[in-house]
Amino acid sequence: MDPIEEAALLDALQRWVDKEVRPVVMRHDHGDIWPAELVAQMAEMGLFGATIGQEYGGLGLPATTYAKIIAMMSSYWMALTGIMNSHLIMAAAVERFGTEAQKAQWLPKFASGEIRGGLALTEPNAGTDLQAIRTVAVRDGDSYVINGTKTWISNGIQGSCFALLVKTDPKADPRYKGMSLMIAPKGPGFGVGKKFDKLGYKAIDSAELVFEDYRIPADNLIGGVEGQGFFQATGGLELGRINVAARGVGLADGALRLATEYAQIRETMGKPIAQHQAIQLKLGEMVTRARAARLLTLDAAEAYDRGERCDMEAGMAKFFASEAAVKNADEGMRIFGGYAYSKEYEIERFYRDAMLMCIGEGTNEMQRMIIAKQWVKRNPA
């Protein structure tokens, strides 16, 4: 994207965040209230089509620009970026792997925000090990009949359509060969279970999805060929992990911003605490950590934009940036001292939100394994 255009876009979004988002964050977060008005404004701005190709009505943004948008928004409130991210991973699966008919039917509605949704992979007994899913789709003429349960699905209540990972051949060996990805709009047989009451990441709904004899057209099989779902789903996780890394960057930046402001206002022993060496040591580490996280994330996004395999780069960015978010939020709490425990101050939200980034889109333990395996593979003895 042209640097001038990118700067103008980021500036416009910053003004929107300052005017519309920041005044209402605490009310929505503390009350766990779905931000309907903000979501409508995001649709008007085209954010639900951020990475969708312009030929389908999207903005067609490169991953580098998208990562900068996510980082900026997350530095004030992370939940909004989750509403976008799950939706765009669903769209990316259709755009990258769908048939031409599927792209023409679904992508314009995804881009406009007319249809919003997410990615339905996780099950009660299948998180990191996706091949252990039990949701089954049985072919019945021109339809598939689906039964099973998904859990921890972002946008589960407010979303209307999901990229749904199922088993079309439960006996396949290896297991991944029996997995398929479906475009699953809500309808008869598609139920929504309980909404989870979470420590952080408030206002965005995370819920169970329950399928009981849920029937969809066979044409909703992404790509039109069974057995491709595992690779279609995990391929989308590269963009998802870049998004999570960008969220980590935003959280690390936001915690740093709040801590820096407070350290220059709060005084002890006759001077601002920013002048005390103990606080300076913390701030010095925080700003370095946030900068390193940003550079790793942009490195992964650039590889993604070049069309290169980037699971190692995305894994490194996701791992480091999420840990940077946790550490900066923790240090921010320490700089705020006793006031950090008051909900009148925003730093506590960053502390609650940050840990999710170490778990979501593949745990950081799994990221380190992916990084190591890819590193060894790229550097044979």
The reply to whether 348 belongs to the active site is no
> By CB neighbour count within 10 A (0-12 exposed, 13-18 middle, 19+ buried), where does 329 fall?
buried
Give the C-alpha separation, 45 to 13, whole Å. Answer: 9
Candidates 5, 302, 361, 365; catalytic one: 361
Q: Which H, E and C letters describe the chain, residue by residue?
A: CCHHHHHHHHHHHHHHHHHHHCCCHHHHHHHCCCCHHHHHHHHHCCHHHCCCCHHHCCCCCCHHHHHHHHHHHHCCCCHHHHHHHHHHHHHHHHHHHCCHHHHHHHHHHHHHCCCCEEEECCECCECCCHHHCCCEEEEECCEEEEEEEEEEEECCCCCCEEEEEEECCCCCCCHHHHEEEEEEECCCCEEEEEECCCCCCCCCCEEEEEEEEEEEEHHHEHHHCCCCHHHHHHHHHHHHHHHHHHHHHHHHHHHHHHHHHHHHHCEECCEEHHHCHHHHHHHHHHHHHHHHHHHHHHHHHHHHHCCCCCHHHHHHHHHHHHHHHHHHHHHHHHHHHHHHHCCCCCHHHHHHHHHHHHHCCCCHHHHHHHHHHHHHHHCCC
**Distance of alpha carbon 196 from its chain centroid, rounded?**
17
Residues forming the active site: 361
